[in-house]
Structure 1
């Protein structure tokens, strides 16, 4: 466990990308939301939602792509095993997600206290993400961050193993599969049942349980590829 923590500390050398940049982005969202409201002519009135959280997910997760493409070769040169590196990466991903999940709970509380930043805007307290207590709210924020980070980890591992060709193939394959799934759902009239199924799910299941299951599957795939990756 000590060696795993040591490897995690090596990854945290990239703390600006892991912590500082996402923190700055989270703090800037209210100002960015104000700019969007102004551009839409909605400066002061009406309870409304501004969908900016996906941008924060992207900022928080991209650091793990750098971890796999830059830190991984360096640590292998230090004699770190792939298993320890994978365990340290999982630890950093979960730690970062829990930290920013808690941070978003705090921002959502400030948002409520300030009446939606003084203009009835909901940036953090989106209706779909609202929970009965701070713990469940924390989980609802944390789940998507873990899942997005897992996507970036897998992308970094694919690049490390197969370089640009692997990334292009992965992107094209993913787009093709999504397009085929969408076409199948359209021809079979599955969209309404899918919408009903998702609509009946508790928001905690949608934003915590399902993302964690997805992250586990992506993490397992990343480990299978990582075992054969070279510097």
Structure 2
């Protein structure tokens, strides 16, 4: 005689886990102004300031050759870099503030991390779409009428990059800052101040060692050649490796972390 059992419990467990992941996603969007409104407002303010600077520069330069030189120099603008740093802060806050709160509602560490990772992917897609649209407008208006470069800077593929390549550049960059910020916050959740001191010391020594090796071996031309050969898309594609490492490290650290509210 064969007894068959219905797999109702695993199915219910899977549904519950999925609902908790979505619940974490919604929890990260509770403060919509800080996540979706404030970053665009600050970026808009930076854009207006840059627009004023471009107008002042071009009003003081009348020769076409000089204006061309100015436009070429603007392709190295880092005006939009702020928004990526802000997303690193969002990644930190997702762990520092939301993690203890979520565990209080019986959300598992696994579901919390998956929900937070999904949040990072959704936000990266939204902001990448917005930045790609602004880049297209910037190209269409020839740098907002002044040859300015804020969303089509050299680091974002310049003015010649197709929209899908530019979207990938933004998307991968956003993911990098989200997960690195979350991993750093996870270190604090796991080991508190001592962990942050050790992490900062190790990171500083590692950076000094890398710079020292490159300098002593006269390898800076090779480093520059590597960036030139790979181009913005290739360099950002390589950033997916530390992004994946940060995502895995963050999950493993949170598995043993004890939040303090």
User: TM-score, with normalisation over the residues of structure 2?
Assistant: 0.81
Q: Could you report, residue by residue, the CA deviation over 1:101-155 in whole angstroms, capped at 9, with x for unpaired residues? A: 1100111112123221221111101133226422221111111111011111011
Are 1:228 and 2:256 counterparts? Answer: yes
Q: Which runs of 5+ in 2 are unaligned?
A: 1-17, 60-66
For 2:21, the equivalent position in structure 1 comes to 4
1:168-207 superposed matches below 5 A: 168-207=197-236
CA shift for structure 1 position 182 = 0.4
For structure 1, which segment, 166-175 or 78-87, has the greater mean C-alpha deviation from structure 2 after superposition?
166-175
Q: Which moved more, 1:51-60 or 1:128-137?
A: 128-137
Alignment of 1:5-44 (within 5 A): 5-37=22-54, 42-44=57-59
Distance 1:224 1:189 in 2: 38
CA displacement 1:205-230 (0-9 Å, x = unmatched): 212x2122221011111111111001
Which residue of the partner structure matches residue 106 of structure 1? 133
For residues 39-70 of structure 1, give each alpha carbon's deviation from its aligned partner in whole angstroms, at most 9, with x where no partner exists: xx624443123211221111223112111011
| 1:171 to 1:37, Cα distance in 2 relative to 1, 3 A | farther
2:58 & 2:184 partners in 1: Cα distance? 40
Q: Which runs of 5+ in 1 are unaligned?
A: none
Matches within 5 A, 1:81-230: 81-130=108-157, 132-207=161-236, 209-230=237-258
Deviation at 1:17, TM superposition (A): 2.3
How far apart are the structure 1 equivalents of 2:53 and 2:173? 24
Pairwise CA RMSD of aligned residues? Answer: 1.8
Q: Distance in 1 between matches of 2:110 and 2:176?
A: 20
Report the Cα distance in structure 2 between the residues aligned to 1:229 and 1:55, rounded to whole angstroms: 30
Contact 2:21 2:115 in 1 (8 A): yes
Q: Distance in 2 between matches of 1:28 and 1:103?
A: 16
Structure 1's consecutive aligned runs of 4 or more residues displaced over 4 angstroms after TM superposition are 35-38
Residue 53 (structure 1) aligns with: 80
Q: How far has the Cα of 1:191 moved from its partner?
A: 1.4
The answer (yes or no) to whether the contact 2:136–2:163 under 8 Å persists in 1 is: no
Aligned length: 228
Q: Structure 1 residues 43 and 163 mapped into 2: Cα distance closer, same or farther (>3 Å)?
A: farther
